Amino acid sequence: MAEEKYKTLEVVEKNPKSGVFHLYLNRPRQRNALTYDFFTEFPKALYALDHNRDVNVIVLSGAGDHFCSGIDISQLKSITQSYHDAGESLRRQILAMQDSVTALERCRKPVIASIHGACIGGAIDIVTACDLRYCTEDAFFSVKEVDLALAADLGTLQRLPLIVGYGNAMELALTARRFSGSEAKQLGLVSRAFPSKDDLDQAVSVLAQEIAAKSPLAIMGTKTVLLKSRDLTVDQGLDFVATMNSARLLSSDLTEAVAAQLQKRKPVFSKL
């Protein structure tokens, strides 16, 4: 099957058979600003990668000098003109854009955000929906929406407090101030910040391949449980994972993992 071509994205498999695929925001001349086309293509690309049995891990990054500068201002202007005095139509458009970002969480495969340069506005919506986040020390972030007379509405205000804490999220969202990759690490927004993009790329590649080598069924289950547990009590979360594992403990991956341990070899897991 021919790989689908996108206007705003590019899919690359740098190391065949590694299980790691790279998804690039691909409008470098526009600093990867987000357009209508992006919000249409992004969930389609994630769905295709999720259902590709050769994909175990997805690395999301930006082509060119920046990760993403947020929503394209010309698109924002078009939205306000197109939906003037049409509140319900605009609400449906916002919900559709929210759903495009939430596609990151629906994707069963883990998504790693690899961030350099600008990560502004709508880009924060995107990276907070990713499973892991890494950046360069000189990357810069801003929850920019209040400077455009808006409240962030694609997920930042819901997900960021769970990552950096309520007080930090409130301060960043109300001030729209710029903060560095180093501060993002201090806040817990990213797991690590690296001195250069080369260092970032190398570290993310190693991490992605390490995850990709593990049981896809176990990785998918772990992501599912962690996301589901956000909305459950501890007891409910324990019941959920017990129900899920009661079926998966009978999987061939468990048998293979045990055999590989006993035989001191690398396991070979089933594809999903």
Catalytic residue among 41, 62, 70, 71: 71
Residue 163 bears catalytic tag: no
Which one is catalytic: 122, 155, 181, 221? 122
Active-site residue, 71 included: yes
Decide if 120 is catalytic: no
DSSP element (H, E) containing 180: strand 179-180
- Cβ neighbours around 170 below 10 Å, total: 14
Q: Residues near 36 by Cβ (< 8 Å), separated by ≥ 6?
A: 75
- Structure-token pair, residue 178: 């710029």
131 is catalytic: no
Pairing of strands 179-180, 192-194: unpaired
Locate 49 and state its tokens. 């990668």
| Tokens of residue 11, six digits | 């899919």
| Contacts for 32 with CB less than 8 Å, ≥ 6 apart | 25, 26, 62, 63, 64, 66, 67, 68, 69, 123
Q: Which of 105, 131, 145, 201 is catalytic?
A: 145
Structure tokens at 91: 């609400």
Judge whether 153 counts as a catalytic residue: yes
**Looking up tokens 């790693």, which residue turns up?**
112
Q: What's the rounded Cα separation, in Å, for the pair 169 and 255?
A: 44
Among residues 30, 42, 185, the alpha carbon closest in space to that of 102 is found at 42
Identified catalytic residue from 41, 72, 125, 131: 125
Cα angle 90, 77, 62; round to 5:
95
13, 153, 183, 199: which one is catalytic? 153
Q: Do you know the residue count of the chain?
A: 272
Which residues are the active-site residues? Answer: 71, 122, 125, 145, 153
